[in-house]
C-alpha cells in the first residue's frame, strides 16, 4: 500500500500550556498561522514516562498524546523529523521506553560539555570547582539538550549545590531548563558523607559546616580513606573538608539529614534524588562496630538500613509535572550477586529504585549470571544497573564502548532490570563518547534492537560510509591500546587526515578529532 502524506503549511497548537516546550518545537518547525491545521497536545497520565502517541489523520486535527513529563516533548520532536517534502505520513505511531529508568551520572567538576571552558577536570570525586561560575549552566544545558533529543530521562548531578557556581539559584535554573525539556535533574546527595546535601559552601546543610559545629558527631574513619576498583587501581582521596563523614549511629545526624532533604525538596524543583551513604570508609566507632560486627566493604549495609526509612519517607513527594519524584538508592559495586550481604536492605521501602554498579571486568566475568531468576531474588522490586565502565573509573573516559552499552541494555532488559545508568561527563563532541552514548540511548529505549540496525542507522552515516565506520572503530581501538606504538598511532593520524580531506561538516569533524587524538597519543608514545 502506498503511504499517504499530508501537506502542512503552518500549524496552530492547542493545549500548549500543558507542554510549552513541545509547542515551541512545533511552531519553530512549521510556523504559526491561525487558520492552519491544529496540532492538539494531550496529557495522558496513564502512559509510562516518555511514552507517546502520534495521530496524523487524512483530515482534521493532528493529535499528540504523552505522559505528563516527557512524552509530548518526544512526540513533538518525532513529528518534526517525520516531515518530508511530500508532507507528513498519515497514520498512528506509538512508542515508549523499554527500560523506564535511563539516567546519566555526573560530578559537576568534571562535566565538560562546553569545551571552550578553562578549568576542565577529567577525574575525581570530591574536587573543588575550577571553572567560572557561568560554566556550570553552560555545560549542563548542553547535556540536558542531548538527553532531551536522545530521550534519556534523567541526569544525576553530584555537586548540584555549590557556592562556586551559583548555589541555589543556578541549581534552580538548571532544574527548570531540564523540566521543560522532559529531563529530570536528580540531585546526587551523600548521607553522612560526600558533603551532605549542599555539597560545597557555607550552608547549614553542608556536612562540613554541620560537623564543625558538632565534632562529637563525626565518623571515625579508617586511616586510609579511599577505595579500590580492580579496573582502576588504588585510589587515595586527599585529606580535605569535602571528605568529612558523620557517624550513622548518631540520631542527631539522621535528624539533620531529614531536615536537609526536606529543605532540598522545598527549595528546588528536582526530579528526584540519588542517595548514597558513602563508599570511602565505614565508621569504626564503638557503636557502629557493635551494630555491624565490622563491614567487609568500604561501604556499610547497616548504615543503609538505619538511615533510609526516615529519609525516603521524607522524600516521598510529587515532583515536576505532577508525577512522583524518582529516587535511586545506590547499593555500590560488584555485589549484585551477593544476596547474603544485601540482607539488611530487605526491610527498606520498596517504592524507590535500588541501583547496583558494576565494573568492566566484573561485568564480563559475571554477565551470564544476570538472569530474570536472579533479579527476582534481589531484595526489592525496582532494580537498576549502573556501570563505571566507559568512564575514568575504569580508565575508559573516552573509549569506544557502544557494544558494551548495547550488551548491558539488552541483558538488563532481558533480566527484568528497570534501568541502566552510565557516566556522561565527557561531551558528545568526542565521537567515541557520542557513539557510546547513542548505543546507550537506543538499546535502553529498545533492548531488543538489533546491532546491525543500530550500526546502519546511527554509526555508518556519522563517518561517511560502512567501511569508514569500521575503520574509525578499529582506529579507536588503537587509541585505547596502551601498548600501541608511535608508528601505529602515526598511521592512524595519516589515515584520519586523508578522511578529513575527503569529507565535510560533522563527518569531517569526527575524523579531525581522531587525527588530533592520534597525533597526541603518538607524540607521547614516541
Among 156-164, 282-290, 389-397, 469-477, which window interacts with Zn ion (CB under 5 A)? 282-290
Strand partners, 94: 53
**Contact between residue 41 and residue 30 where contact means Cβ atoms under 8 Å apart:** no
Regarding 292 and contact with Zn ion (CB under 5 A), the answer is: no
Which is nearer to Zn ion, 303 or 500 (by Cβ)? Answer: 303
First-to-last alpha carbon distance for the chain, in angstroms, is 62
CA within 13 Å, CB half, 116:
4
Instruction: Find the shortest distance in angstroms from Cβ 264 to Zn ion.
Output: 24
- Distance (Å, rounded) from C-alpha 406 to C-alpha 437? 10
Q: How many helices (H) and strands (E) does the chain have?
A: 17, 17
Q: How far is the CB of 285 from Zn ion (least distance, A)?
A: 3
Quick one: 117 exposed, middle or buried, by C-beta within 10 A (0-12, 13-18, 19+)?
A: middle
Nearer to Zn ion, 245 or 375 (CB): 245
Tell me the β-bridge partners of 218: 246
3-state secondary structure of 182: coil
- Out of 29, 123, 235, 285, the only residue in the binding site for Zn ion (CB under 5 A) is 285
Query: Measured from the CB atom, is 249 or 306 closer to Zn ion?
Result: 249
- Residue 483, SS3? coil
CB of 250 to Zn ion, least distance (A): 7
- Residue 283 contacts Zn ion per CB under 5 A: yes
- Does residue 288 bind Zn ion (CB under 5 A)? yes
| Least distance to Zn ion, CB of residue 276, Å | 17
Alpha carbon distance 206, 219 (integer Å): 16
Smaller CB separation from Zn ion, 249 or 436: 249
289 binding Zn ion? (CB under 5 A):
no
Nearest to 110 by CA among 383, 328, 303, 393: 393
Spatial neighbors of 286 by CB under 8 A, at least 6 apart, are none
Nearest-approach distance from CB 283 to Zn ion, in angstroms: 3
Q: Give the span between the Cα atoms of 102 and 403, in whole angstroms.
A: 17
How many residues at the interface with Zn ion, by CB under 5 A?
5
Residues 393-412 that bind Zn ion (CB under 5 A): none
Contact pattern from residue 234 through residue 263 relative to Zn ion, giving x for each residue in contact according to CB under 5 A and a dash for the rest: -------------x-x--------------
Give 27 or 250: the residue with its C-beta nearer to Zn ion.
250
| Residue 43 contacts Zn ion per CB under 5 A | no
Q: Cβ closer to Zn ion: 302 or 425?
A: 302
Contacting positions for Zn ion (CB under 5 A): 247, 249, 283, 285, 288
Amino acid at each position: 500500500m502506498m503511504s499517504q502524506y499530508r501537506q502542512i503549511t503552518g500549524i496552530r497548537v492547542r493545549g500548549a500550556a500543558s507542554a510549552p516546550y513541545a509547542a515551541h518545537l512545533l511552531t519553530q518547525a512549521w510556523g504559526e498561522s491561525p487558520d492552519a491545521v491544529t496540532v492538539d497536545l494531550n496529557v495522558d497520565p496513564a502512559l509510562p514516562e516518555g511514552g507517546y502517541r502520534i495521530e496524523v489523520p487524512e483530515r482534521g486535527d493532528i493529535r499528540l498524546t504523552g505522559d505528563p513529563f516527557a512524552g509530548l516533548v518526544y512526540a513533538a520532536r518525532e513529528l518534526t523529523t517525520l516531515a518530508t517534502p511530500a508532507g507528513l505520513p498519515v497514520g498512528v505511531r506509538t512508542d515508549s521506553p523499554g527500560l523506564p529508568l535511563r539516567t546519566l551520572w555526573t560530578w559537576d567538576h568534571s562535566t565538560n560539555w562546553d569545551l571552550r571552558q578553562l578549568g576542565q577536570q577529567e577525574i575525581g570525586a570530591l574536587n573543588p570547582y575550577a571553572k567560572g561560575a557561568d560554566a556550570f549552566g553552560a555545560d549542563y544545558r548542553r547535556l540536558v539538550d542531548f538527553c532531551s533529543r536522545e530521550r534519556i530521562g534523567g541526569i544525576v548531578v553530584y555537586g548540584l549545590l555549590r557556592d562556586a557556581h551559583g548555589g541555589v539559584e543556578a541549581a534552580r535554573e538548571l532544574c527548570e531548563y531540564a523540566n521543560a525539556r522532559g529531563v529530570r535533574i536528580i540531585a546526587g546527595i551523600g548521607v553522612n558523607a560526600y558533603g551532605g546535601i549542599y555539597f560545597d559552601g557555607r550552608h547549614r546543610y553542608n556536612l562540613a559546616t554541620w560537623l564543625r559545629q558538632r565534632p562529637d558527631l563525626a565518623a571515625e574513619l579508617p586511616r586510609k580513606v579511599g577505595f579500590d576498583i580492580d579496573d582502576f587501581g588504588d585510589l587515595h582521596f586527599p585529606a580535605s573538608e569535602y571528605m568529612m563523614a558523620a557517624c550513622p549511629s548518631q540520631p542527631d545526624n539522621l535528624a539533620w539529614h531529614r531536615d536537609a532533604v526536606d529543605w532540598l525538596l522545598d527549595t528546588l524543583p528536582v526530579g528526584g534524588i540519588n542517595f548514597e551513604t558513602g563508599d570511602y570508609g565505614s565508621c569504626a566507632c564503638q557503636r557502629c562496630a557493635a551494630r555491624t560486627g565490622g563491614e567487609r566493604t568500604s561501604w556499610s549495609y547497616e548504615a543503609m538500613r538505619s538511615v533510609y526509612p526516615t529519609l525516603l519517607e521524607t522524600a516521598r513527594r510529587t515532583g515536576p509535572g505532577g508525577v512522583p519524584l524518582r529516587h535511586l538508592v545506590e547499593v555500590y559495586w560488584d555485589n549484585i550477586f551477593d544476596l547474603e550481604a544485601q540482607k539488611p536492605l530487605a526491610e527498606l521501602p520498596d517504592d524507590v529504585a535500588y541501583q547496583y554498579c558494576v565494573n568492566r571486568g566484573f561485568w564480563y566475568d559475571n554477565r551470564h549470571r544476570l538472569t530474570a531468576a536472579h533479579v527476582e531474588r534481589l531484595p526489592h522490586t525496582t532494580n537498576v544497573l549502573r556501570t563505571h565502565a566507559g568512564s575514568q573509573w575504569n580508565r575508559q573516559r573516552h573509549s569506544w564502548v557502544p557494544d558494551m552499552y548495547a550488551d548491558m541494555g539488552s541483558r538488563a532488559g532481558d533480566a527484568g532490570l528497570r534501568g541502566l545508568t552510565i557516566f556522561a561527563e565527557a561531551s558528545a563532541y568526542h565521537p567515541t563518547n557520542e557513539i557510546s552514548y547513542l548505543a546507550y540511548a537506543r538499546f535502553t529505549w529498545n533492548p531488543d534492537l538489533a546491532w546491525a540496525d543500530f550500526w546502519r542507522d546511527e554509526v555508518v552515516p556519522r563517518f561517511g560510509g560502512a567501511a569508514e565506520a569500521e575503520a574509525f572503530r578499529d582506529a579507536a581501538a588503537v587509541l585505547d591500546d596502551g601498548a600501541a606504538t608511535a608508528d601505529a598511532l602515526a598511521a592512524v593520524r595519516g589515515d584520519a587526515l586523508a578522511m578529513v580531506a575527503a569529507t565535510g561538516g560533522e563527518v569531517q569533524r569526527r575524523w579531525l578529532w581522531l587525527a588530533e587524538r592520534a597525533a597526541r597519543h603518538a607524540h607521547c608514545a614516541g
